[in-house]
Chains A and B, each alone.
Chain A
C-alpha cells in the first residue's frame, strides 16, 4: 500500500508552469530521492505536498486522505513534515524553542509530554552542538548548524513522511554523512519514509534507494538510483544533450 501518491500533479505560478503532470507513489518506509537541475520543479513539488503551494491540477493522497489543497497544519497532523529550501529557522527563538514548536500539535494526546521530551533528547544526541547552544537565538547559528536545527525540528513532529529540500546544502561532508546516517537509522526503527531533494545524484547513488530525475517540471526517469547513475540517459537529462 502506498503512503504517498501523486497523480497528474501540476503547479503553476501565474502563467509559468513549474510542475507538469507529475505522478508517482511512495510506499511506507521507502527512500526516494528527487534530483534534477535548477528550476526543475523539485522544491515546488515538496511545497505542494506540504500544502504550502496549492497545486493547479491533479491530486495528492497521503495515508488514505486526499490532501490536495488542504491547509499545511492539517497535512502536518497527518504525519508529513517538510524541511523547506533555505532553512527558515525562527531566528528570534532559541534553538530549544524552535525544536518544540512542532510538538504542539500532539498536545493533549496521552503521554505527549514524555514523548516530546524523549524526542528532544534524541535530537540532542544526534546533534550535540544543538544541545550545547540550546538557549541561543537560532538566528545566531552558522548555516550548517541551522541546517541541523531544521532537520531536527522537522523530526520533532514525529512524522511518517519527512520531505527535505537539499539537506546537504551548506553542510560539511562529514556532517552530511551524519545527517544521512541518522535519517537512515530512523527510517529503520520508526518506519520513517524519506523524500529527499538533492541537486546532484551523487548522494542518492551512495545511499541507494529509488531516484526520480526531474527536468523542466516533468519526471524524466524513475528507478533504482545506483542503476540510473550509470546510465547515459541520466547524463543527457542533466546536461540537456537530449535537446539538441
Chain B
C-alpha cells in the first residue's frame, strides 16, 4: 500500500511540473502561435535570481534568504517580468512573422539567456538550500511522502483552479480567450493586442517561476540547464494535448508524468536508463492515432 501511494505521489508531482510547464507554453501559443523554446531558460533564470552573480563554486545566496512569503512573490514577479521583457524586446518584432521564424527567434533568445547566466554564474551547478523545511517527509496512508511533493501537487491544483476562474470570470480572461480563438476578430472588437499578449507572457513567466521554485527546492542545485528537461516534456505535452488547448496541455502533462513514473517502476532495472525512450515511444503512439492531439484547440485560424 505504502509503495503504491509513493508511486501515485511521484507520478502526480512529476505530472504537476510537466502540466505547469505545458500550460506556460500553451498560453503563449494560444494568443500568438509561438512555441516559446526560451521557456526552459526562463525557468533556469528564475532560480538564479536568488543568487548573487559570481563565478565561484559556492553560491552567494541573495534573495534566497528571504522568508517564503516574500521569496515566492519575488520569484513569481521576476519570472513574469523576464517573460514580458522577452515579449517587448524580442517577440514583438516577429509578431507578423511565420511560426517557424518566431520559433527560431525563441531558440535564439533561449541561448542568449543561457549564456548570460553562464557569464554571470559560470556553468558549474551550485548547491543552494531553498525552502529546506520542504524536504521533510509526511506520513500519508502509510507512505512517507516528501512535503515538497504534496505542496507541488496542491500548488498545481490551486494554479489550475485560479487560472480557470481567471479565464472564465474576468474581463481580461474573456479577452484572452477571444483572442486565442480569433485574434483579428478580437481586435476588431477593440481588444488590445499588446495587452492580451503581454498578459499571456506574464502568466507564462509566473508559471515558469513556480516550476523554478519547485525544481530548486527539489534538487537543491542551481544549474543553467535545469529547465531543459521540463521544457522538453512540457513541449511534448502541448503537442499531445492539441497545440493551444490549455486543458489538453494539462491533461497531457499529467499523463506524461504518470507514464514516466510507471515506466520507472515496471521496466526491468537494466532498461530503466532508457526510460525516456519508452516515454517518447508512447508519445509517438499517441500522435499516430490522434495526430491533432488529445483535445483540439478551436480557432487555429490564421492571425493578421
Contacts and interface: CB of A to CB of B under 8 A. Distances in A.
Contacts of B182: 88, 90
B186 interface: yes
Contacts of A81: 188-189
Most buried by B among A50, A73, A100: A73
B181 A73 contact: no
Interface in B149-201: 171, 174-175, 177-178, 181-182, 184-193
Interface residues of B, number: 20
B93 interface: no
B73 interface: no
A71 B298 contact: no
B191 A104 contact: yes
A36 interface: no
A90 B175 CA distance: 11
A139 B298 CA distance: 10
A110 B304 CA distance: 33
Interface in B131-150: none
Interface in A61-114: 71-73, 76-77, 81-82, 84, 88, 90-93, 97-98, 100-102, 104-105, 107
A52 interface: yes
Contact of B175 (A53, A76, A101): A101
B281 interface: no
Contacts of A82: 188
Contacts of B178: 90, 93, 97-98, 101
Interface in B50-83: none
B299 interface: yes
B55 to A, nearest CB: 46
B299 A92 contact: yes
A98 B182 CA distance: 12
A93 B177 CA distance: 8
B249 to A, nearest CB: 15
Contacts of B193: 71, 73
Contact of B189 (A91, A107, A153): A153
A157 interface: yes
Nearest to A72: B187
A77 B304 contact: no
Nearest to B301: A88
14 contacts: A51-B188, A53-B304, A72-B188, A73-B192, A88-B185, A90-B181, A90-B186, A91-B181, A92-B299, A93-B178, A98-B178, A100-B174, A104-B175, A153-B189
Identify the 9 closest CB pairs spanning chains A and B, nearest first: A105-B190, A76-B190, A102-B189, A72-B187, A92-B298, A88-B185, A101-B178, A73-B187, A90-B181
Given A98-B178, A101-B186, A104-B171, 7 more contacts: A51-B188, A73-B188, A90-B299, A91-B299, A92-B299, A104-B174, A104-B189
